[in-house]
Structure 1
Amino acid sequence: MTSLVIGATGIVGGYIVDRLLQAGERPIALSRSTHSSVTDVEWLKGDLAEPDVFELPPVTTLYCTAHAGLLANALPHLYSPLLTRVVAFTSTSIVTKIDSDIAAERESVRLWAEAEQKLISTCDSLGVAWTVLRPTIIYDEGRDANITRLSRLIQRLGFIPLAGSGTGLRQPVHAEDLAIGALAAAASPAAANKIYAIPGKDTITYREMVGRIFDGLHKPRRIIPIPPALWRAAFSVAKPFVPNANVAMGNRMAKDMIFDSAPAKEDFGWNPREFRPKFD
């Protein structure tokens, strides 16, 4: 077996490379950034948006953490008869943000869903089995844009404001568990040509999720509920402290965003860790 990892310098892609190495493979890693110094990996520098400018050796399995639309367009250039499985990541946001209050978010997830379907159609036309994995909130302490961002806000402010009581349910999932799941899905005949939600092990409220971030920082939990109406009014003042935030984030704190992991458990043994982040 020879595996290609697209997006190998990202938090999930990096763990996929690590897991392939542990399994005894010498994977090929494609990334737009500078090659890694890891000698057991064949690093190729290239942009998935320009697949005709680089040549890849034949591979049997392709893992992609880049945007599904880019892969769908590039796959005919990357294809060889040896390719038997494509494992690609999208997101449960395709479901949870479809009715977002923010027009840009609705448009983004619409395009993401279209890209996912285009990738599936491309794989089908090439006769390549595919598996699409939709993670929930991805974290990797110190590196992600979700849990780590909240941890940095806690360190800066010493507290976290919530819109309302923060009762919406969440299932954070670690990036390394996603890599483990990707390899398991690629090896499972039962996972061929299916889409899976892959949530974390714990189903907890948004408030408890934030509380466990405090725990991981070894800080007392200081969580301040703010009435939703006041949250919206104050958001313009608070936004400079929370880059890339929008008012819809507060509205979603009361919304359940949970998914059934049973199909992934049954088909490829999905078994993620508890949500107990550590920021030592």
Structure 2
Amino acid sequence: MSAENTLKTPILVLGATSLIGTFLMARLQAAGHEPMGLSRRPPGGDACWIDADLRGDDLAEQLPGAATVFALSPIWLLPDALPALKARGMTRLVAFSSTSRFTKEASPEASERAVAKALADAENAVEAFGAEHGIAWTILRPTLIYAEGRDGNVSRLAGLIRRFKVLPLSGTGEGLRQPVHADDLAAGAIAAATAPAASNRAYALVGGETLAYRDMVRRIYEGLGRTPLIAPLPPWLFSLLLTLARPFFPGATAAMGARMSQDLVFDAADAVRDFGWSPRDFHPRF
């Protein structure tokens, strides 16, 4: 393998105990690397761990030297940390954002619009810093992330199915989805970091299948070994039930029901071309 296609070391993983971070640390270690993880709690195994706050004034003093940085913490925390990371030797940055930058941009919920703006502002800051200081950056925007039993999307639906048996939908649930596994995202991040074509670009990372929301729910039932019991409801009735169920469904908003009929679909052809993105189909097993 040529030098330009080799992962530059040392390697630092910000958010090492996040959903994607645990898979990324494992993949890096399996490949013979010794990544350093920064997180608020120690990662599993024998990985080197740094306890530091990305917003801390003395961050540069706490950080180890690292040429490649994978940023899995919320991307809006990253801009303030960039000078410290550069001072400690960063030349290659792969940062995770989200397709929520686009899907929540016009949400009726102010909190969701604020998330979309925070994502966009942080991405712009990363791009500007990279251009000014000669840091090769890549921004990855996953769609619906899952990891059986651990995520707040697919696994939360699985929890509701276990508890209530029947899962109501707003309307017929025909909106298209592209669920993507956290382990595939970890593999994609490493591939992007070693691909010269991925420098200074942003990519949507989608799952291996595009399927309707109701079909995604059916697959979750299958992954639980249960017969699907799906109840399509008029949107007004679903909204009422969602209001009543909020104690069991933290973070639920009316916009979530409305999105069940919306297509949240992105094209990952450029990621396939530039670093061989090849995610699995959606067949979760719980």
Question: Per the shorter chain, which TM-score range?
Answer: over 0.9
Q: What residue number does 2:6 align with?
A: none
Q: Quick one: which of 47, 50, 60 aligns to 2:53?
A: 47
Per-residue displacement from partner, 1:33-85 (whole Å, max 9, x unpaired)?
1x24522x221111111152443232111001112221111110121474221
Find the aligned partners of 1:9 and 1:265 in 2 and give their Cα distance: 27
Equivalent of 1:188, from 189, 195, 204?
Answer: 195
TM-score (norm 1): 0.95
| Aligned mates of 1:244, 1:107 — CA distance in 2 | 15
Deviates more, 1:55-64 or 1:214-223: 55-64
- Quote how far apart the aligned CAs of 1:191 are: 0.3
Quote the residue 1:255 is aligned against: 262
State the distance in 2 between where 1:36 and 1:104 align: 31
What does residue range 99-178 of structure 1 map to in structure 2 within 5 Å?
A: 99-178=106-185
1:236 deviates by 2.0
Residues 214 and 37 of structure 1: CA distance in aligned 2, closer, same or farther (over 3 Å): closer
Whole-angstrom distance in 2 between the partners of 1:258 and 1:37: 34
The letter of the residue matching 1:46 is A
Amino acid at match of 2:53: D
Q: 2:34 aligns with which of 26, 49, 53?
A: 26
The partner residue of 2:14 within 6, 31, 37 is 6
Aligned equivalents of 2:210 and 2:128: distance in 1? 33
Alpha-carbon displacement from aligned partner over 1:132-176 (angstroms, at most 9, x marks no partner)? 000000000011010010000000000100000000000000000
Compute the RMSD of aligned alpha carbons. 1.3
Contact residue 163 and residue 250 of structure 1 kept, 8 A: yes
User: Counterpart of 1:123 in 2: which secondary structure?
Assistant: helix
After superposition, the Cα gap between the structure-2 partners of 1:154 and 1:81, relative to the gap in structure 1 and judged at 3 Å, is: closer
Residue 233 of structure 1: how far off its partner (Å): 3.4
Q: 2: CA distance between counterparts of 1:163 and 1:206?
A: 10
CA contact (8 A) 1:59 1:80 kept: no
User: Are the aligned partners of 1:51 and 1:74 in contact in 2 as well (CA < 8 Å)?
Assistant: no
User: Partner of 1:211 in structure 2?
Assistant: 218
Deviations 1:112-144 (A, max 9, x none): 211111122122222100000000000000110
What whole-Å deviation, never above 9, does each CA across 1:5-59 have from its counterpart, x for those lacking one? 00001110111111111111111111111x24522x2211111111524432321
Partner of residue 279, structure 2: 272
SS at match of 1:144: coil
Partner residue, 1:63:
70
**Secondary structure at 2:62 match in 1:** coil
**Which amino acid is 2:39 matched to?**
S
Q: For 1:12 and 1:267, how far apart are their aligned partners in 2? A: 21
Count of equivalent residues: 277
Percent identity between the two aligned chains: 47
Q: Deviations over 1:175-231 (max 9, x none)?
A: 000000000000000000001000001000000000100000000000000011222
Distance 1:269 1:194, change over 3 A: same
2:80 to 73, 84, 91: 73
Residue in structure 2 matched with residue 242 of structure 1 by the alignment: 249
Q: What's the secondary structure of 1:66's corresponding residue?
A: coil
Q: 1:51 to 1:221 in 2, by over 3 A?
A: farther
Runs of at least 5 residues in structure 2 that lack an aligned partner in the other structure: 1-8
* Residue in 1 that maps onto 2:24: 16
Amino acid at match of 2:14: I
